[in-house]
Amino acid sequence: MKSAAIYARYSSDKQSETSIEDQIALCREFAARNAFEIVSIYSDAAKSGSSLFGRSGLLSLLADAQNRAFEAVLVENLDRISRDQEDIAGVYKRLSFSGVEITQVHGGKADKMQVGLRGLLGSIYLQDLADKTHRGLSGRVAAGKSAGGKAYGYRPIKGEPGALEIVEEEAEVVRRVYREFVSGKSPRAIAHDLNRDKVLAPRGAAWGQSALNGMKARGNGMLRQGGEG
């Protein structure tokens, strides 16, 4: 019987923790049918397959594989490991060097050809996803809606993607900032007075001049949202 580790991952908000549980159950059933002994289970919840960054489960698996903790890694398919061509090839190379095979429930034992093909298909998928996301955000902006991200003075309306409503307490702070700036007070002085009056900043910390001035090149900062600051 060959010792094996299970790796499971999900990324999108259309999936949940149950997706990992389902993947693990699927791999356990496969192991029972194919003479694998499960010795370890690794997982990454809500982690994109486009990068290895933040994938603590996969990184732990690679470290244990280097120490010969198991002989095989069971996955639902190679996409669970990565959708990036370079990353999936790198993981396959590291595991192979340690004498560890990758076996897919749907696809069998992985080889160089499968890794190359899966990596190519994964990259195409990621590019297509990025294009669709950009198109969707552009459509929201064209319709006069928010493309996402937190905007001080507003909050999203539940059930209406891209729609915002005014948060009156924060809006009054915005009005105050503009009134004082127009009257001749410097951004540094405005920030100082906001902190003195214990007004919460957008990120919950202290107000700083940069939150008001921003950067001209990036067009950010509260005072630049109504034109040049």
Helix (H) or strand (E) holding 114: helix 112-142
Give yes or no: residues 91 and 27 share one domain.
yes
Q: What is the reported pLDDT for 174?
A: 85
Domain termination residue (choose one: 61, 93, 126): 126
Give yes or no: residues 175 and 88 share one domain.
no
Residue 72's domain spans which residues?
Answer: 2-126
> Cβ contacts of residue 81 below 8 Å, gap of 6+?
7, 9, 49, 58, 75, 87, 88, 91, 102
Q: What is the reported pLDDT for 229?
A: 37
| 143 within a domain of the structure (yes/no) | no
Which of 97-101, 127-131, 175-179 is the least confident region? Answer: 127-131
- Does residue 182 surpass a pLDDT of 50? yes
Q: What is the CATH number of the domain that holds 57?
A: 3.40.50.1390
Give yes or no: residues 98 and 183 share one domain.
no
**Mean pLDDT taken over the chain:** 79
Report pTM: 0.55
Which pLDDT band holds residue 140 (cuts at 50, 70, 90)? very low
Give yes or no: residues 25 and 121 share one domain.
yes
- Does residue 46 surpass a pLDDT of 70? yes
Give yes or no: residues 27 and 120 share one domain.
yes
Number of domains in the chain: 2
Is residue 95 within 8 Å of residue 87, measured between CB atoms? no
